[in-house]
Structure 1
Amino acid sequence: MGAGLSVTLGLVGLPLAAVAHSRSVDVGLSTQDWGDWLADAGKAAGIETLFAAAGGALGLGLVRRFRRNWWAPASVCVVGLGIASLWLFPVVIDPIFNRFEKLPPGRLRSEVLSLAQRAGANVGQVYRVDASRRTTGTNAYVNGLGHTKRVVLYDNLIDNFPDDQVQSVVAHELGHQKHNDIYRGLAWLALVAPAGLFLAQALAERIGRRAGLDDRSRKPGPAALPAIALSLALVSFGGGIASNLMSRRVEASADAFSLQLTHDPAAQIELQRRLAVSNVADPDPPRLLQLLFGSHPTTLERIGMGESWARKR
C-alpha cells in the first residue's frame, strides 16, 4: 500500500517536475537532457518506492500492534532512521546519482586543511562532486557520521570561483562541523518527532472516523495508511516551518563563523552575489515565502552581514 501510494503521488507530480526541469533548462540552470533527467527521476522513484513500501509496512505493523499509541514507537524509528540515513546516504545513496572524488593534493586541499586546523574542526574527508553534469548551480554541504563524515564541494564551485570565495564556502561548512550542527539536527529530530507523530495520530484518527475507518472491533488494515499519510503531510508542513526557522539561524551562525575564520568580508559579499546569479536565486524573496520555505537567510541578509562585519573591523 505504501509503495502504491508513492507511485501514485510520483505519477501525479511527474508533469510538474517535467515543467520545472524545462524551466531550469530555459534559464540555463540545468545541463541535463531529457534522457538523463528521466534516468534520474526513475532512480529517485525506485528509491522512494522502496522506502515507502518499508515505511508503510512498518507503520501498519505499529498501528496494528499499538493502536492509538503507535506514535511512540514510531518516534523511536524515525530518530533511528535519521541516524542511519546520515551514516549511510553518503556511501550508499549519493553515489547512485553522482561521482565523488577525494580532493587531490594541491593548493586547494592544503588551504582547506589549513582552515580546518585554524578552526579546530574535524573536517573528515573533503570531496569534489560532479554536479556540473546536472546543473550550473553552485553549492557545498556537510553530511555523514563517523567515518562517513565529509565536506562536499561542487565542481562548479572549485572550477569557476576564485580561491578566496571557495575558502569562504569551506569556512562556512567548517562552521557547521565546529558547531556540531549535524548532531544538533538529530537532537531537534528527537524533540519534534514524538510531538509531531502524536499530532499525526490524532489527525489520522479524526480523518479515519470521517472515512469510516473507526471500526475498533478489528485491527486496522491497509486502508488506514492514506489517513496516516495525509495527517503526516499536514503535520510535516507545520514542522517544516519551525525547522526552516532553526535552519536559517544555523546558517547565519555558520556565515558568522566563516567571517571570523577568514577575516575576508569582501570575499563573502562577492560570493553571495555570485551564488545568487549561478543558482538563479531571488536575492530578496517575498517575506511570507521566506518565512514558510526559506532554509537559509536571503542573499541580501547574507550580504548585509558581511557589510556589517566589515564596518566593525
Structure 2
Amino acid sequence: MKKFLKGVFLLYGIYAAIVISYFLLIADSSNLPNGYQGSAADPTTFMNDRQLELTYEYSKIRHIIFFLLTPFDWVFFLTILAVGFSVRFRNWSESVTKISLFQKGIYVFWLSVFTFIIMFPIDYISYQLSKSYGITTSTFVIWMKDQFIDFWLDYLFMVVLAIVVYALIKKYNKRWWIYAWVISVPFTVFLMFVQPVIIDPLYNDFYPLKDKELEEKILNLASKADIPAEHVYEVNMSEKTNALNAYVTGIGSNSRIVLWDTTLNKLNDSEVLFVMAHEMAHYVKKHIYMGMAAYLLISFIGLFIASKILEWAVKRFGQRLLIKGINDIASLPLLLLIISMLTFIQSPISNAFSRYLEHSADEYAIEMTNDKTAAISGFQKLTIAGLSEVNPPAIVKWLRYGHPTMLERLNFLENYDVKQTN
C-alpha cells in the first residue's frame, strides 16, 4: 500500500506540473480567431485594459484549480482506502452500536468530518481568491455559514445513499444497481420539487420583485410565454457576490424563475427582459424535464458500469484493503471514487447537451424580445462582472462549460438577423 500510494502521489505530481505548465505557458485565450476582432465578441471592445488583465489572470487560476481538484478527489479516496481510515471508521461505528442503520450514520459522519477537514483549506483558498478578484463579497461568517449548511446537507444525502445502496447490495447482490436506479427516479423528482422551497432558502432570501414597474414588464413577457406570474422571484445575492445570474429551478407547482439582485442592479430593464426571456425558455421548452431525463439515462448506464467495477475492485483488492465484500460500508469511498471518475468521463457529453439547451434558450429569448442590442450588452456586462473568458481553451469548454462560450453567444446574437434572413 505504501508503494502504491507513492506511485499515486508521483503521478499526481507529474499531472499537476503538466496542468500548471499548460495554463501558464501554453494556453492563451486572449487571442480571438480570425474575423472576430472588433466584433461584439471581442473583449477589447467592451473591457478596459485592467479588466482584461484580471480576466486572463483569474481564468487561468480557476482552470488550474479545477483540473487539480478533480483528480485530487480520486487521490483522496484512494488514500482513505489504502491507509485504512475507511476500515477504522467502520470499526468505530460497529463498536458503538449493533444496529446497521446507526452504523451507517456513524460511518458517514466520520467520513464527512474527515473530508471536511481535508478540503477546508482548499475551499478557503478558493474563497480568498474569488474575494481578492472582487467576485465574492461574502464575509467570512456568511461563507462559513454556507459551508456548514453544505456539510449537513451533504451528510444527510450521503447517509440516505449509504443506507439505501448497501441495503440493496446486501439483498440483491449483483442486481442492486437496477433497484438503486429505480429508487433514484422518484427521489430525483422529489429533490427537484422541494429544492426551491426548502433547500434554496437555507442559503438566501427569496422574495417577489421589488421593482413594480419592471415587474409589470416581466409579467407581460411571461403572459406572452404563458407562464404563471408567481414563478418569478428575486434573490438577495449582493451580500455574497458581484457576479450576475438568473436560473430556472423546481418542477410542477414549485417551479420558479429566479433573478439575482445583482443582475437587477447592474442591468437595465431591456437587458433584464432578455435574461428573463432566456429563463422563460427553459420553462416553456421543458428543459428541466429534458435535463432530468438525460440525467436518469446517464445514471442508469453509470450505475451499471459502477457496479461491475466495484465488484471487480473488491475481488481484486478487497483483502489488502480489509474490505469484507461489496456490502461492506468500508467500500463506500471506493464506490464514490468510481462514481466520481465516471461522472468526469461523461462530463463532455452532459456539458454538450446543456450547451445545446442553453443555445436553444438564447434563440427563444432573442425571438421573443427582438432586442439584439440589449442581449449583446447584457452578455457583455455579465462577462465583465464575472471576469469570464470570452474564448476559453477547448478542453476547458468540453469539461467545464454547461453554457456556450461568450464568443459563441455574442457572435450568434450579432449575426442573428443575417441567419434569420438566410
TM-score range, shorter chain: over 0.9
Q: Which residue of 2 aligns with 1:76?
A: 182
- 1:124 Cα shift? 4.6
Number of aligned residue pairs: give it: 313
Aligned-partner Cα distance in 2 for 1:57–1:213? 23
**Does structure 2 conserve the Cα–Cα contact (< 8 Å) formed by 1:123 and 1:149?**
no
- Name the SS of the counterpart of 1:211 in structure 2: helix
Q: Which of 139, 155, 159 pairs up with 2:245?
A: 139
Q: Which residue of 2 aligns with 1:55?
A: 161
Q: Which of 254, 267, 279 pairs up with 2:386?
A: 279
Q: Which residue of 1 aligns with 2:257?
A: 151
Q: Which residue of 1 aligns with 2:44?
A: none
Aligned-partner Cα distance in 2 for 1:205–1:40? 37
- Name the SS of the counterpart of 1:131 in structure 2: coil
**Does structure 2 conserve the Cα–Cα contact (< 8 Å) formed by 1:60 and 1:225?**
no
Per-residue CA deviation, residues 132-156 of structure 1 (Å, 9 max, x unaligned), is 1100111000111122111100001
The answer on 1:223 being equivalent to 2:319 is no
Structure number having the greater helix percentage: 2
- Name the SS of the counterpart of 2:404 in structure 1: coil
From the superposition, tell whether residues 213 and 295 of structure 1 become closer, same or farther in structure 2 (CA, over 3 Å): farther
Aligned-partner Cα distance in 2 for 1:3–1:78? 22
Q: Which of 236, 244, 250 pairs up with 2:351?
A: 244
- Percentage of identical aligned residues: 29
Letter in 2 for 1:184: M
Q: Unmatched 5+ residue regions in structure 2?
A: 1-106
Question: Comparing 38-47 with 254-263, which one deviates more in the overlay?
Answer: 38-47
Within 5 A, what are the aligned runs for 1:1-313? 1-104=107-210, 106-122=212-228, 124-212=230-318, 220-311=327-418, 312=420
Q: Unmatched 5+ residue regions in structure 1?
A: none
Letter in 1 for 2:340: A
- 1:34 Cα shift? 1.4
From the superposition, tell whether residues 123 and 286 of structure 1 become closer, same or farther in structure 2 (CA, over 3 Å): farther
Letter in 1 for 2:376: I
**Does structure 1 conserve the Cα–Cα contact (< 8 Å) formed by 2:314 and 2:325?**
no
Aligned-partner Cα distance in 1 for 2:296–2:134? 40
Structure with greater contact order relative to length (CA < 8 Å, sep ≥ 6): 2
Aligned-partner Cα distance in 1 for 2:326–2:167? 10
- Name the SS of the counterpart of 1:232 in structure 2: helix
Aligned-partner Cα distance in 2 for 1:104–1:242? 39
From the superposition, tell whether residues 122 and 190 of structure 1 become closer, same or farther in structure 2 (CA, over 3 Å): farther
Per-residue CA deviation, residues 197-254 of structure 1 (Å, 9 max, x unaligned), is 0011111112212322699997822122222121111111123221111000000000
- Name the SS of the counterpart of 2:196 in structure 1: coil
Aligned-partner Cα distance in 2 for 1:39–1:217? 38
Query: Please, what is the CA RMSD of the aligned residues?
Result: 2.0
From the superposition, tell whether residues 219 and 166 of structure 1 become closer, same or farther in structure 2 (CA, over 3 Å): closer
TM-score scaled by structure 1? 0.94
Letter in 2 for 1:102: P
**Does structure 2 conserve the Cα–Cα contact (< 8 Å) formed by 1:201 and 1:231?**
no
Per-residue CA deviation, residues 159-182 of structure 1 (Å, 9 max, x unaligned), is 221001000100000111111001
Question: Comparing 120-129 with 240-249, which one deviates more in the overlay?
Answer: 120-129
**Does structure 1 conserve the Cα–Cα contact (< 8 Å) formed by 2:318 and 2:324?**
no
When Rg is computed on C-alpha atoms for both structures, the one with the higher figure is 2
Aligned-partner Cα distance in 1 for 2:150–2:404? 28
From the superposition, tell whether residues 10 and 240 of structure 1 become closer, same or farther in structure 2 (CA, over 3 Å): farther
Q: Which residue of 1 aligns with 2:84?
A: none
Aligned-partner Cα distance in 1 for 2:324–2:122? 42
